[in-house]
Chain A
């Protein structure tokens, strides 16, 4: 750096100055962005995909709904084994001593078998469903698990069917509970039951989204068709032909490569890595070697070329 470009911050600026109308710039920028946003909204409107609901799931792929509901009773779904903030079934993601999920604790307690299946069935005015729930509730946990696991196995063998006959009573009340829940879902009542179970207004979609997310058929297929699943840069895509959040490419990038791709703790590791990279960007002026980058790649001299041209004369 040439000595004449050195600036002592403790001394008053004695170089050239120019008037600068900040208010004018803010107004011009606001009007330009407002016109651009309004114009693009008028031209393209906004994504208008139909809502994915438990009703659409039950009507479109009843077999997958039955398998998932049985999995909730057996405690084998993602929700059932997720850990915090929903339950204590797992310690959750961690990286070394950093256990963010565990530290946060169970803030939204959810028991998938009870919350997604048993409680909604109790809202049904149906004697068959009520007696099935009564039989389920009076059994111990081991018996419940035996029934549900056996029915889950039977459903997986009867590919594409939403029920399996049980002449010997091996599955207990599970087939009736799943069949009743399927009827409830097809009518749309299950959507209402889950989104109003904790709030008077239908604003909390946590339970219905967790239930949907446990689907390994219907919901996973929808995501895959729209390129929204994790192995397809899903975080930066959008429904339809809309551009997505392309500025999230770096977050999404790490999920595409090992060791992140195959790690059970990918979310925590990627978040920490991005935190470190962001700190690196923020503290760039204090990091040796990296802070020399502007001297090697003087983009600023291109932007302020008039100033540097005068200085170099």
Chain B
């Protein structure tokens, strides 16, 4: 059986905020999705001199 380099087969760490409780794994994934969304908004489209030029 392959043993993972980073072992996640142990009880999760939960972060509580009032009535809400979220596992660290889920929180990290949600933050990663937010970062990808913001990156998609703000990182400019790649342009090359040839490709990116608008043509009339």
In terms of DSSP, what is the predominant structure of the interface of chain B? loop
Within 8 A of A (CB), among B1-23: 1-6, 8-14, 19, 21-23
Q: Contact at A241–B24, with CB atoms within 8 Å?
A: yes
Say whether, besides A227-B14, A241-B10, A16 and B56 are in contact (CB < 8 Å). Answer: yes
Q: Contact at A244–B5, with CB atoms within 8 Å?
A: no
Chain B window 18-52, contacts with chain A (Cβ cutoff 8 Å), 1 for yes, 0 for no: 01011111101110010000001110110000011
Q: Contact at A241–B45, with CB atoms within 8 Å?
A: no
Query: Which residues from A are CB-within-8-Å of B53?
Result: 18
Nearest CB in chain B: distance from A52 CB, A: 15
Say whether, besides A43-B4, A236-B26, A241 and B13 are in contact (CB < 8 Å). Answer: yes
Say whether, besides A241-B24, A303-B40, A18 and B51 are in contact (CB < 8 Å). Answer: yes
Interface size, chain A (Cβ < 8 Å) = 32
Say whether, besides A16-B54, A241-B13, A243-B23, A44 and B41 are in contact (CB < 8 Å). Answer: no
Nearest B residue to A246 via CB reads B26
Q: Contact at A19–B13, with CB atoms within 8 Å?
A: no
A302 in contact (CB, < 8 A): yes
Nearest CB in chain A: distance from B49 CB, A: 12
Q: Contact at A242–B21, with CB atoms within 8 Å?
A: no
Say whether, besides A227-B14, A299-B41, A244 and B25 are in contact (CB < 8 Å). Answer: yes
Within 8 A of B (CB), among A113-144: none
Give the CA-CA distance A47 to B44 in the complex, in Å: 37
Give the CA-CA distance A233 to B15 in the complex, in Å: 13
Query: Which residues from B are CB-within-8-Å of A232?
Result: 21
Q: Contact at A233–B4, with CB atoms within 8 Å?
A: no
A267 in contact (CB, < 8 A): no
Nearest A residue to B47 via CB reads A306
- A residues with CB within 8 A of B: 16-19, 21, 42-45, 47-49, 225-227, 232-233, 236-244, 246, 256, 299, 302-303, 306
- B residues with CB within 8 A of A: 1-6, 8-14, 19, 21-26, 28-30, 33, 40-42, 44-45, 51-56
Instruction: List 19 A–B pairs whose Cβ atoms lie within 8 Å, in order of A's numbering.
Output: A16-B54, A18-B53, A18-B55, A19-B51, A44-B4, A44-B5, A48-B1, A227-B23, A232-B21, A233-B21, A240-B11, A241-B8, A241-B9, A241-B10, A242-B25, A243-B26, A246-B29, A246-B30, A303-B40
